[in-house]
Structure 1
């Protein structure tokens, strides 16, 4: 299947399922629509990764990946905001049709922007004579495992943000004479991250395209995330605590962008579809496991505190795992020196 065809299919499925929410009623039908939409989401996400890999090189891959991730998250924010405003005014059916038609606008954009050819038909990095790389190499395994674990740790934060606000500030947060609840504050902070992603993710990605490679900023982000997670579960002055939350979100933006760029580096020099599929599945799996782990500890004494301290320790361990590469290599993309074209 060509990259263009895969993107066409994903857009069509997304449009049809979105319109379907307005016409079909019942739990079973909505579950079926949600399952089909999940297929569309997976195809679209993979198509985005493969598009970045096809049209990028070592000098701009991080910047393109950051731009892609930022626009993806910003689109999610816009969809949630407009959906929340429009559904009470016009009804679910009308809004579903409008959003479905808007999705179809992507078809001519794909036709005009994506050239024909296999999704795997991307230029591979040239390797020294006699040196081969496989999808089972240590570098690829590290990326897949790291992606799963970091995605899990980020999911823990996302699943417990409002819970932390509730337990740390049970009487609400005063703001200009009003009392803001945990849901409102959590939503505002999450929306803030979605708003800065197109700019900050692109900036982080561009920094890793420089001569020092991706590992220095990756290691720094891991250290920052570890410090932030270690401080989050404690009851601190509200202003300081919010600053820590924002700092943790910034490290999440950095780590997500850099991990995606490192995965695309590995895919470019091995097997694009195989590596990116394994990486995408691992990050999705981590995002699903994270909230499940939280349900086991929420409510128990020191449960959430222990979980966050454990998460901080895991960030440190991941950093130690990459430390040898960080020290040994000057120009590092994925544990190996790469020439910049």
Structure 2
């Protein structure tokens, strides 16, 4: 398949926007459910924690099955199924009550998200090559995250006025709007079979074949990096409000507005999701240039190391805020570039097998990160060891990925082996 910007833009943008529509309901719950849990028919606050995490654990054993299915069916079939499941589960938040019913809904959402995420990865790989993969991966990540932004903002604004049920039903209808878009505009017959190498740089690696994909040092490195970095990045989302409450318990002023700790954490996350569509695309496009992805990836790791080392301390508020923004910007670059590097590695072996393993690794890291952090915080009496330890790990991974002369001469991921 000859890939041009024209025939790549539409399917990648389409899948990203459909993913954003489906993320509305899931993202809404992280803001709404901890407050309106009684309206959902729950009897205790601990049930909220289980419901917000069960979808992650469901994905761990399911990702290999999802990868196998994508190897057998067209991308469009998987995406249509994902949209249907996502819309039904989101509407179900407004139709069903009780812990058992919601546990089923959240588990089904885990299936839908696995189909969406894997479908997004495979779409980018299918419609990109080494000259533009970073750009398209950035576009996909950035646009899909708009759903998280609007889910949190609109859910937080509308739920107090209309209640959980009407908002969930409305978000379910919006998610369902992605169904005709996929059915009409997504090309039919595009199977996620291992593609031919997209450039001469890939030819030398393709001989490993789908059977020996796990023997590739580049693949193993991408999977290991995805596991650890997703674990570290989950720490920020899970503990930001606690860091603020610990070090800045009073009201702080941001852009002339007085905000309490939880509100400040929400505003900072909203700023991150707002900027991510532009930044992710920009970082991805930058990584497609002559210098490649590794120098920018290493820079994002070092920036994260510096920011994490500063964040847990009671610094002057302006300096602390700068450290948080640095970590958020570096996190956007890191996520986009890590996905692009994993996609580069997948193009040299078995696409579905590699991206399945990568998805399992990143899901596992996201699930482990918050639990391990709070366990360490309870044992050590604070978050400082977790953040300082994370800073050291970021720096170590920067050193591991630092481009050597041989790496700069080869393609990004092939050279990073």
Q: TM-score, normalised by structure 2?
A: 0.76
Distance 2:376 2:151 in 1: 33
Rate the CA distance shift 1:31–1:7 in 2: closer, same or farther, 3 A: same
- 1:113 to partner: Cα distance: 2.9
**Structure 1: any 5+ residue segments left out of the alignment?**
none
Specify the alignment match of 1:135 in structure 2.
213
- Does the C-alpha gap of structure 1 residues 200 and 127 become closer, same or farther in structure 2, counting only changes over 3 Å? same
The answer for the alignment partner of 1:186 in structure 2 is 265
Greater shift, 90-99 or 36-45, is seen at: 90-99
Gaps of 5+ in 2: 1-72
> SS state of the match for residue 120, structure 1?
coil
- Aligned partner of 1:103 among 175, 183, 188: 175
User: Does 1:252 pair with 2:331?
Assistant: yes
Separation of aligned partners in 2, 1:184 and 1:323: 38
CA distance in 1, matches of 2:380, 2:105: 40
| Contact 2:195 2:347 survives alignment (8 Å) | yes
Tell me the equivalent position of 1:172: 251
- Measure the CA separation in 1 of the matches of 2:256 and 2:291: 49
Q: Which residue of 2 aligns with 1:73?
A: 145
Could you tell me how far 1:326 is from its partner in structure 2?
6.3
Match of 1:85 in 2: 157
Q: Contact 1:24–1:30 (CA<8 Å) still a contact in 2?
A: yes
Cα distance, 1:320 vs. partner? Answer: 1.9
Q: 1:40 to 1:212 in 2, by over 3 A?
A: same
The answer to whether the 8 Å contact 2:409/2:415 transfers is no
Q: State whether residues 221 and 251 of structure 1, in contact with CA within 8 Å, keep that contact through their aligned partners in structure 2.
A: yes
Q: Aligned equivalents of 2:407 and 2:281: distance in 1?
A: 27
Match of 1:319 in 2: 398
Partner residue of 1:53 out of 108, 117, 125? 125
Residues 377 and 385 in structure 2, CA contact (< 8 A), matched pair in contact too? no
Aligned residue for 2:233?
Answer: 154
SS at match of 1:192: helix
Checking the alignment, whether the CA contact within 8 Å between 2:294 and 2:403 is kept in structure 1 is: no
Match of 1:39 in 2: 111
Deviation at 1:118, TM superposition (A): 4.6
Aligned length: 337
Q: Counterparts of 2:255 and 2:90 in 1: how far apart (Å)?
A: 39
- Counterparts of 2:114 and 2:136 in 1: how far apart (Å)? 19
Bigger mean CA offset, 95-104 vs 276-285: 95-104
Q: TM-score, normalised by structure 1?
A: 0.93
